[in-house]
């Protein structure tokens, strides 16, 4: 009996690696500390009623952002471990197996569990406020989307300490990801963690398309929407077309592993290239899914801190929408080297070059917006300025990679690693940081400390160039991807040392950001107005943080930069437009709002149970998990008390308190 328990424990828990043992101890101590703090301060009921069951888009957005910051820490530690291993030749800091696990989990976490939730957090915080709505179209579904993401991410991260992490690469190419190449449960954690969170992502895309198309304030035509809202619409359209491909692809891989199918195995009549085509049909649009909202963020920030209307608004809209379409016709450039044929390579090379055109249009529009503007440079604007040269370099190297003959030399080298991070960090991460700094006062009612923010900014940017510029040269020198060690005679050590130093500089930058947030909370200073940056769109017309119902009266929109135009009329002493003045002076009415619900949390937890059961092939766990999901659906179907009205006297008290604080 005791021997069986020891045998099961050795398979169930990851043992033998001191780094992982340290992580297990840290996770355990952290969980104990969280439970003790919540119990000591008697916050369990508050946590359940105010956060875990909330359907308020603003609170859901904040929870997305908190998860994203935690995942940035996890993925960043993975990156530092890899760079440490590569700093010197023939180093034995990480075993080959552990290194493979780390570069696999680093990619998955940074793209799907860091960039995506940070993006969805900003969607939730900003879009309803920008379009004058009181919530998203489907608040219950919004909560379910978050908790599906959360439990999917937890299931994936659990593999680090239980069962073992996946090690077949972040896109899990077969045959490495088949049972023959990955006989353990790590790949199953990969499949079900991404599947569960991916269902939440797909639901988010649907939710925000409906919200933007159906819930805009009166007068806000499509061509009067803020550019960030346009970028969310284009990103959400791409999500609903791309994520079903990922869902089907991973389900087929699961059938290969679980049911003995042979979709992607040559010995059973399948074809691994079918998987590679499918995964990149999702994978390349995914890059644009996360970068399009960053383009919208930069557009908002450049216009605000130049005190000018965005130059070329219509061309920006067409550029965003064309990128979301053309992104589905570029996937094969990821395997030019696999011999698809000259005609296929030529088509995808040309489509890849074409997609650079609308991207270039946006860069010129931002520059022309700043031209002769009344510029100021707080932290959000600094991140925007830093993005432009960084993304231009990333775009230029992308065009180099799009040339099929040249790609035969670049493809599997560190040149590609440098390009990928140039666009994903310089475009996505810099953009989301800019948005986080820009809308932080709207979320919490106070600004982040500017001095510490600038320290973080410079460490991030200097560290970024120190880390990734040498990797272009390493690629030309022949260093290929996925190496866990190299020989002394390669001549790669000096540049690898420099690259590792840059990675640690970015790690220091992250610590500055954590310090910045803690310092700003400790020395809390309420913003004197809801219009922190003298903004141009509707979110700046209400108090910060926004009331539960967002707008006491539904705003009437008359122009593209409606809030800015309204302030200009007041400054000049001009009367408000009659129909707008009438709406603003109308008596308050009760506001219809959705009730909180615990069903999304419980249903997602049952998905977690079912997913964990699938990972370990435990039917006794899968069946109760799926039954729980079905029961939650039935409970929701027969729940009729799903909304309520905020009474006028409560609205008046809330508005008086908010305005009085300002």
Q: Which residues pair with 162 in a beta bridge?
A: 13
**Dist CA 496 CA 546 (whole Å):** 47
Assess contact for 470 and 431: CB atoms under 8 A: no
Give the chain's domain count: 1
Residue 300 sits in which domain range? Answer: 43-551
Full-prediction pTM beyond 0.85?
Answer: yes
For residue 627, being part of any structural domain is answered with: no
Q: Which whole-number Å values give the CA distances from 85 to 92, 168, 478, 584, 586, in the listed order?
A: 7, 19, 18, 62, 66
Q: How confident is the model at residue 646 (pLDDT cuts 50, 70, 90)?
A: very high
User: What is the length of the chain?
Assistant: 662
Residue 613 belongs to a domain: no
Q: List, for residues 570-601, the tens digit of each pLDDT value.
A: 888 888 888 888 888 889 999 999 999 999 99
Helix (H) or strand (E) holding 593: strand 591-594
> Does 661 score more than 60 pLDDT?
no
Would you place residue 30 in the very low, low, confident or very high pLDDT band (cuts 50, 70, 90)?
confident
pLDDT at 660: 64
Q: Say yes or no to pLDDT of 542 above 60.
A: yes
Share of the chain above pLDDT 70, in %: 99
Q: Residue 5 falls within a domain, yes or no?
A: no
Distance separating alpha carbons of residues 55 and 636, to the nearest angstrom: 14
Neighbours of 603 (CB within 10 A): 24
Please return the burial class of 398, using the count of CB atoms within 10 Å of its CB with bins 0-12, 13-18 and 19+.
Answer: buried
Task: Assess if residue 346 is contained within a domain.
Answer: yes
In this structure, are residues 418 and 469 in contact, taking their beta carbons and an 8 Å threshold? Answer: yes
Give the pLDDT confidence score for residue 20 in this predicted structure: 80
Tell whether 215 is covered by a domain: yes
Mean pLDDT of all residues in 426-446: 95
Going from the C-alpha of 620 to that of each of 338, 389, 609, the distances in angstroms are 43, 55, 10
| pLDDT of 243 above 80 | yes
Phi and psi, residue 220, nearest 5° = -85, 90
| pLDDT value for 324 | 94
pLDDT of residue 434: 97
For residue 29, the tally of other CB atoms under 10 A from its CB is: 10
What's the pLDDT score for residue 267?
85
Give pLDDT tens digits for 302-361: 999 999 999 999 999 999 999 999 999 999 988 888 877 889 989 999 999 999 899 889
The beta-carbon contacts of 371-374 under 8 Å, at least 24 apart in sequence, are 371/311, 373/305, 373/306, 373/307, 373/308, 374/306, 374/307, 374/308
* pLDDT for residue 96 is more than 70: yes
pLDDT higher than threshold 70 for residue 403: yes
- Of the ranges 120-129, 137-146, 174-183, which one carries the lowest mean pLDDT score? 174-183
Could you tell me the pLDDT band of residue 5, with boundaries at 50, 70 and 90?
confident
Using CA atoms, how far apart are residues 38 and 107, in angstroms rounded to an integer?
33
Whether pLDDT at 567 is above 60: yes
- pLDDT higher than threshold 60 for residue 662: no
The whole-number pLDDT of residue 557 equals 93
pLDDT, tens digit (0-9, with 9 covering 90-100), for 248-259? 999 999 999 999
Mean pLDDT of the chain: 93
Longest Cα–Cα distance in the chain: 86
pLDDT in tens, 261-300: 999 998 888 999 999 999 999 999 999 999 999 999 999 9
The dihedral formed by the CA atoms of 555, 525, 446 and 534, expressed in degrees to the nearest 10: 60
Rounded CA separation 653/659 (Å):
10
CATH number, residue 329:
1.20.210.10
Please check the confidence at residue 145 and state whether its pLDDT lies above 80: yes
Q: What percent of the chain is modeled with pLDDT above 90?
A: 82
Q: What is the pLDDT of residue 25?
A: 84
- How would residue 393 be classed by pLDDT, with cut points 50, 70 and 90? very high
């Amino acid at each position: 009996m005791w021997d069986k328990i020891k045998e099961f424990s050795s398979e169930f828990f990851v043992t033998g690696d001191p780094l992982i043992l340290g992580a297990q101890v840290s996770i355990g101590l952290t969980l104990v500390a969280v439970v003790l703090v919540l119990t000591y301060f008697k916050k369990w009921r508050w946590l359940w009623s105010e956060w875990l069951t909330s359907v308020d888009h603003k609170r859901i957005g904040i929870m997305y952002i908190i998860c994203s910051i935690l995942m940035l820490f996890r993925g960043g530690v993975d990156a530092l471990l890899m760079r440490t291993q590569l700093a010197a030749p023939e180093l034995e800091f990480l075993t080959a197996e552990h290194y493979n696990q780390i570069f696999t989990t680093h990619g998955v976490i940074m793209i799907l569990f860091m960039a995506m939730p940070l993006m969805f957090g900003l969607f939730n915080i900003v879009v309803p406020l920008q379009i004058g709505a009181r919530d998203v179209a489907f608040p219950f579904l919004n909560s379910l989307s978050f908790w599906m993401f959360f439990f999917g991410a937890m299931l994936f991260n659990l593999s680090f300490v239980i069962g073992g992490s996946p090690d077949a690469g972040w896109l899990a190419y077969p045959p490495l990801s088949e049972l023959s190449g990955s006989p353990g449960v790590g790949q199953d954690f990969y499949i079900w963690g991404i599947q569960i969170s991916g269902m939440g992502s797909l639901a988010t895309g649907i939710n925000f398309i409906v919200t933007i198309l159906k819930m805009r304030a009166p007068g806000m035509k499509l061509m009067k929407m803020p550019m960030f809202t346009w970028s969310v619409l284009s990103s959400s359209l791409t999500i609903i077309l791309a994520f079903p491909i990922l869902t089907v692809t991973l389900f087929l891989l699961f059938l290969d592993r679980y049911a003995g199918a042979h979709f992607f195995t040559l010995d059973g009549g399948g074809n691994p290239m079918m998987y590679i085509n499918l995964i990149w049909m999702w994978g390349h649009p995914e890059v644009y899914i996360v970068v399009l909202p960053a383009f919208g963020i930069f557009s908002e920030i450049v216009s605000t801190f130049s005190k000018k209307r965005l130059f070329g608004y219509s061309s920006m809209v067409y550029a965003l929408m064309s990128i979301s379409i053309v992104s589905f016709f570029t996937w094969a450039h990821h395997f030019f080297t696999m011999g698809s044929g000259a005609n296929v390579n030529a088509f995808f090379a040309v489509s890849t070059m074409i997609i650079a055109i609308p991207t270039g249009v946006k860069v010129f529009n931002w520059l022309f917006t700043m031209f002769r503007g009344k510029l100021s440079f707080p932290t959000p604007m600094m991140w925007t300025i830093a993005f432009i040269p960084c993304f231009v370099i990333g775009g230029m190297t992308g065009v180099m990679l799009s040339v099929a003959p040249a790609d035969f030399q670049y493809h599997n080298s560190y040149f590609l690693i440098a390009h990928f991070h140039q666009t994903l960090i310089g475009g996505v991460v810099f953009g989301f940081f800019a948005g986080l700094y820009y809308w932080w006062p709207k979320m919490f009612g106070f600004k982040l400390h500017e001095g510490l923010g600038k320290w973080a900014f410079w460490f991030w940017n200097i560290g970024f160039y120190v880390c990734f510029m040498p990797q272009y040269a390493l690629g030309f020198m022949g260093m290929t991807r996925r190496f866990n060690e190299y020989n002394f005679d390669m001549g790669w050590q000096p540049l690898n040392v420099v690259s590792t130093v840059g990675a640690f500089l970015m790690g220091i930058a992250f610590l500055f950001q954590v310090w910045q947030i803690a310092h700003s909370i400790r020395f809390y200073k309420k913003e004197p107005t809801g219009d922190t940056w003298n903004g141009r769109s509707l979110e700046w017309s209400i108090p910060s943080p926004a009331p539960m119902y967002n707008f006491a009266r539904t705003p009437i929109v008359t122009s593209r930069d409606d809030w800015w135009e309204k302030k200009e009329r007041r400054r000049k002493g001009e009367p408000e437009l009659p129909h707008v003045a009438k709406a603003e002076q109308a008596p308050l009415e009760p506001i219809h709002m959705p009730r909180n619900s615990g069903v999304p949390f419980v249903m997602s937890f049952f998905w977690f149970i079912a997913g964990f059961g699938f990972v370990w092939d435990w039917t006794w766990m899968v069946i109760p998990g799926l039954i729980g999901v079905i029961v939650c659906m039935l409970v929701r179907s027969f729940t009729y008390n799903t909304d309520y009205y905020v009474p006028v006297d409560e609205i008046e008290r809330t508005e008086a308190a908010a305005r009085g604080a300002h």
